[in-house]
Structure 1
């Protein structure tokens, strides 16, 4: 990809990068929050079961993300009113420990971003609650006609397609002069972000995906594990060994 970044191959290397990175990017659905936002929207619109099956395929990597997104939105056909109603009546639920982790990362001087294939309109309230600026959110946007009927989604957003999170992180690194970035997420699109992300940490606190475990040497089951790593004293020689990998 011409990024100059090589995927780290050991847990120690990923942990070292996490402790010393300039920024951390979190996926949102099934990572920063416990739900899949599109499934919540689908259930509200009466298309929950069939859309959830498409979501599972997309997160496991068995179908391209852009195909799954397009097909799910065809089934849902959300209106502007339905979207507003679901945001008000079913705010997304934070994963245990994520608020504490984000606060710890910020105290450590790290920039925190949300990079998601979900919908900006549903994610911005999540960012607000985490103290993340809305301009530090990369996500898809739903479009509506003047009468409020569904008009599609913004295909110019990089996260609307497979491989888009890599594009998004590359842009973030360039725009903000970030020396190193870690991606944390539960799905195939998150793993695809490394490189240009300097490391990918798999998160299984909501759903454990065996296929994703194989794509990273550090797979965690809680946000607390990540927060603890920020203050852990490296083993003797561990820093040098990790830095050389």
Structure 2
């Protein structure tokens, strides 16, 4: 049952911004895709429950994202071969309606970006399937030693830090000269993108995971991706 007291019916102003967006940034895990790839990778490596608890804390906004990311990776300690084996065994589960929505936005001249706290190795193949340029992907990079063993993560990636999605949104606007940008996602890091100079509106998605603390602050809260498609003229 949908939560009470949230904006499931968008205002005229929100619809106007959505239709006029020059760029739309999608979160990936539990939004663009139906799963949390970090949790899935952790389960593949045998530490699923512990990592899922840390993911829930990060998405709920109760811990700094960079702390949760480091803790999860320290638990998983994925090697390059681990990641390759995971990708071979787990094809992406793209959310229903996403391919049509991305195609429709692009046909209107709207640029689509993926802004995620997940990993490039998992997200870049999804971008390719959807026809999204690799340069439009903002995500985290796992580092490996010469022998392929785990060596940490690139702390210079924008999305490796709390507030990183807001910085990514501002960078996208500045780089391309966009005046209007929309962020779509399910978690606290996505909500953070709606800051001065960042996303103009935040559209929350509860079709995979419903987070009351995020839903109550969204400019528009949806349970079906198709709602976004149908709102386009």
TM-score range, shorter chain: over 0.9
Residue 202 of structure 2 aligns to a residue whose secondary structure is strand
What's the RMSD between the two structures over aligned residues? 0.9
- For 1:139-197, what per-residue CA distance to the aligned partner results, in whole angstroms no more than 9, with x for missing partners? 00000001111000010001001000000111111111111100000000000001211
Name the counterpart of 1:21: 21
Give the CA deviation at 1:12.
2.6
Name the counterpart of 2:115: 115
8 A contact 2:143–2:150 mirrored in 1:
yes
Distance in 2 (alpha carbons) for counterparts of 1:91 and 1:141: 19
Name the counterpart of 1:174: 174
Gaps of 5+ in 2: 1-9
Q: Which has the larger radius of gyration?
A: 1
8 A contact 1:14–1:200 mirrored in 2:
no
1:226 matches 2:228: yes
Of 201, 207, 216 in structure 2, the residue corresponding to residue 205 of structure 1 is 207
Name the counterpart of 1:59: 59
Residue 92 of structure 2 aligns to a residue whose secondary structure is coil
Distance in 1 (alpha carbons) for counterparts of 2:154 and 2:227: 35
8 A contact 2:201–2:219 mirrored in 1:
no
Distance in 1 (alpha carbons) for counterparts of 2:21 and 2:119: 27
Residue 113 of structure 1 aligns to a residue whose secondary structure is strand
Give the CA deviation at 1:55.
0.5
Distance in 2 (alpha carbons) for counterparts of 1:150 and 1:91: 23
Residue 171 of structure 1 aligns to a residue whose secondary structure is helix
Matches within 5 A, 1:118-137: 118-137=118-137
Distance in 2 (alpha carbons) for counterparts of 1:217 and 1:132: 25
Matches within 5 A, 1:75-224: 75-195=75-195, 196-224=198-226
Q: TM-score under structure 2 normalisation? A: 0.93
Distance in 2 (alpha carbons) for counterparts of 1:13 and 1:117: 29
8 A contact 1:14–1:201 mirrored in 2:
no
- For 1:67-97, what per-residue CA distance to the aligned partner results, in whole angstroms no more than 9, with x for missing partners? 1101000100000000011011102200111
8 A contact 2:184–2:190 mirrored in 1:
yes
Residue 231 of structure 2 aligns to a residue whose secondary structure is helix
Residue 230 of structure 1 aligns to a residue whose secondary structure is coil
Distance in 1 (alpha carbons) for counterparts of 2:28 and 2:21: 20
8 A contact 2:19–2:232 mirrored in 1:
yes
Name the counterpart of 2:6: none
Give the CA deviation at 1:217.
2.9
